[in-house]
Amino acid sequence: MLSRRQLLGGLLVSGVAGCASDQNSIFNLFSKTITSKGPSVGGYPLSAAQIHDIPYATLGVRIASNPRAVIVLATVEGRMLQWVSADRVTFVTQDGRLLRTHGLPRDLVATRWLPTPDEDPLRAFAQTGVLPSRGVYREIDLGHADEHGIAVESHFEAGKDETIVIQGREHATRRIDEIAIMRAWRWETRNSFWVDPQSGQVWRSVQQYCPEMPPIEFEVLKPAAV
């Protein structure tokens, strides 16, 4: 079995090599991290069979309207998962929530829920099926020194049951919408999560953490065994 290092190294050779100097080139580089020799399903550069053959958990990612990419689980720390693309863009998630990034034009450096770090309502919903009736709060840090401790006020809405299809497989989910308000930026966004109401698995999400970065869509192609 290939190690993660060998797998990512092979993907670098089969995808693209080099560095990106601006936002568009990074998005284009990221979108080509894995190439396919067969037919794709759902817009991915790999077929469902090819993804199944990857010996690690995999996540599908799309930034704005760019082509989809497939990234691989690199490390696990408790419930925190670090995913890596072939060009070394990394995403750290926990319970389906994006916590950190590295290698994007505007990185999310840290996320802290208040008053305690484990207050994400997505985890509470996975355990109890209940969402908070009032606003909840977290702080995020971006890359610049004056962008630390940005307050985020979130309000959650439970949507309808939806059956979604990922790589030809159906998943019964409940859609959860988060209205995230950053008053310091006079800006707000809507994040959406498609959650299995039985297991709590977030199968799909669309998340945005700052005005300069477009929404990022995640789909679980092969879940992590955690």
DSSP state of 42: T
Q: pLDDT (tens digit, 9 = 90+) per residue, 77-133?
A: 999 999 999 888 999 999 999 999 999 999 999 999 998 877 899 888 888 889 999
* Segments in 15-151 forming alpha helices (H): 23-31, 48-53, 121-128
Which residues 6+ apart lie within 8 Å of 187 measured at CB? Answer: 181, 211
For residue 47, the domain's CATH number is 2.40.360.10
- Residue 5: what pLDDT? 55
- Residue 213: what pLDDT? 95
Q: Tell me the residue ranges of DSSP E strands in 34-168.
A: 58-63, 69-77, 80-84, 90-94, 97-102, 108-114, 136-142, 150-166
Closest CA to 176 of 163, 160, 187: 160
This prediction has a pTM of 0.84
- Residue 41: what pLDDT? 53
Peptide bond into 115 cis (omega under 30): yes
DSSP state of 214: P
Residue ranges, the chain, pLDDT below 70: 1-42
**Residue 193 structural domain:** 4-222
Helices (runs of H) and strands (runs of E) counted in the chain: 4, 12
Total domains in the chain come to: 1
- Residue 65: what pLDDT? 86
